[in-house]
A and B are shown apart, each in its own frame.
Chain A
Amino acid sequence: MTKPTPKEVKAMADVAGVPVDAEVATRMANSIGPAFEGFAVVAGTLPFDLEPASFLLVQFAKVSK
């Protein structure tokens, strides 16, 4: 997973229906870049049949000490 460029950010904001100018797009790309970089280790590695609801199953599972 790579962080989006300002040009890509501008295109995504346009598609989302909330257009931003080039300056804002550059600032947004810089702001969210670290999140993409931090999550890059995980992105694209998750198993096929993993659902978001697995969080609730783990939350309610008894943890033995």
Chain B
Amino acid sequence: MSAEPALLSLTAVAQAIGQKRVSSREVTKSCLDRIAQWQPRLNAFMAIEADAALAAADAADAALAKGKISGPLQGVPLAHKDMYYDEGHVVTCGSKIRRDFVATTTSTALQRLKEAGTIRLGSLQMVEFAYGPTGHNSHYGAVHNPFVPDHITGGSSSGSGSAVAARLTFAALGSDTGGSIRMPAHFCGVSGLKTTYGRISRAGAMPLSQSLDTVGPLARTAEDCALLLGLMAGPDPQDPTAIAGPVPDYMAATREPIKGLTIGVPTAFYVDDLDAEVAKILDETVAVLKREGANIVPVELPDQRQLTAACQLVLAVEAAAFHKRWLIERPGDYGPQVLMRLQNGLAIPGVSYLEAMRWRGPALAAFNTATAGVDAVIAPVAPVAAPTIAESDVGNSPDAEAVIQRLTRFTRPINYLGLPALAIPSGFTRAGLPVGMQLIGRSFEEAVLLRIGAAFQRATDFHDKVPRFA
């Protein structure tokens, strides 16, 4: 048993608690000690509920002592992006507008993790209303990257990326509408799974764009992501877009070798204008996958720039529609950049929005045809490692949208197509900044991505790097 239980993976700590090799109280205390140390530096938590967490840990230990097993994550403390409704708790959505909003329901994803036995450490910081890729928040301050604290975490699941990387929580829910799970995973050196649109219920999760929003985990390993996905996936009467049908055994998939799988490397777009260190890490990642037995082939994808544009049209209009009442009644309560981005959606005609929606089917069909010969595509999450907080603090300046476009260039097309993508830690720059790659799969084939990600993590140790508190 590690001297510091918080350093274990989710899968390992769940087993250790279940086998009574460590108590939930010891694990929770270990996380709280790290939170006390790191929070002043990272600003990763929105709320820390130490007393309640320890009380819940004691209850979990007492139940285990009596042989009462509530689920595979019994007594495991977690914290999540502060946009998942949790009955009786304040859910700020990273905003001033919802600073005092107390949820009256619990989101389906969170409820399923509770039923698996998890306990609540508190809630995690995020970009205001999940509408930004950097991790800045004008109301609650920027979240800091644990590896190099004056650099961004990425967003919008900024606290999730930072807290998982610093080992303050074993995993965290994020949400991905334009890259908001994969970018913090990439910038902070953790694993992050953007699920297929419809794979996990979105009921009780704050909406941003109903056609693009997806729920998913950030965790230390692909195996941890598989464990969480298996618990959360499945139909939900509260969300008609959550698909029916059986949930695959994702954990079993992570134990399979990748010999015989074919992975495509794009010949354009995702390999254009890369920072030299990101390009090198892409090559090294591909080499590892080849050594593990995967067939590596070039793949020519349809023009991804049009997908990015279509994603922007859909996202802008749907976000503006959700926020219209507050745009009229409380415009001064938004941060400047989020207000600016919400206003953008007012100027897109209905016909343009519906054309972008109508094109989704043909666009996905074209992507499927282009990738029919491969099991997954590998690409960088972003063309650069994390920039500094200062240099990316563009507020609502004329350059803001250009900065956002550059960071989200490789993530937005996947949201538009509704496809799954797994971000995995793949290396570090000379400055010590993490770099992640994304494995992009076919609709509802998360198991293939988790299988590849787990094989890569058996062959490398980038996911085991713990940031130092210097």
Contacts and interface: CB of A to CB of B under 8 A. Distances in A.
B356 interface: yes
A28 B327 contact: no
B306 A38 contact: yes
A43 B352 contact: yes
Given A24-B343, A28-B344, A58-B368, A50 B352 contact: no
Contact of A42 (B312, B354, B355, B443): B355
B343 A63 contact: no
B309 A37 contact: yes
Given A34-B309, A59-B418, 13 more contacts: A1-B352, A8-B347, A25-B347, A30-B401, A31-B341, A32-B316, A41-B303, A50-B362, A53-B361, A55-B360, A58-B361, A59-B197, A59-B364
A20 B358 contact: no
B352 A28 contact: no
Given A34-B405, A39-B355, A59-B418, A18 B343 contact: yes
A8 B346 CA distance: 11
Contact of B356 (A30, A39, A56): A39
B207 interface: no
Interface residues of B, number: 51
Interface of B: 196-198, 262, 303, 305-306, 308-310, 312-313, 316, 320, 324, 327-328, 340-341, 343-344, 346-349, 352, 354-362, 364-365, 368, 372-375, 396, 398, 400-401, 405, 418, 442-444
A25 B347 CA distance: 9
A38 B346 CA distance: 18
B418 A55 contact: yes
Contacts of A13: 343, 346-347
Given A28-B344, A63-B372, A64-B372, A42 B360 contact: no
B225 to A, nearest CB: 21
B114 to A, nearest CB: 29
Interface of A: 1, 4, 8-9, 12-13, 16-18, 20, 24-25, 27-32, 34-39, 41-44, 46, 50-61, 63-65
- The CB with the most chain B CB atoms within 10 A, among A8, A18, A29, A53, is that of A18
Nearest to B331: A18
A33 B228 CA distance: 40
B373 A32 contact: no
A50 B361 contact: yes
A56 B308 CA distance: 19
25 contacts: A13-B343, A24-B343, A25-B347, A31-B340, A34-B312, A34-B401, A35-B316, A36-B309, A38-B308, A39-B306, A39-B309, A39-B355, A43-B352, A50-B358, A52-B358, A54-B360, A54-B361, A55-B360, A55-B361, A55-B418, A58-B361, A59-B197, A59-B444, A63-B372, A63-B443
Contacts of A56: 361
A61 to B, nearest CB: 8
B357 A52 contact: yes
Contacts of A25: 347
A36 B352 contact: yes
A4 B312 CA distance: 15
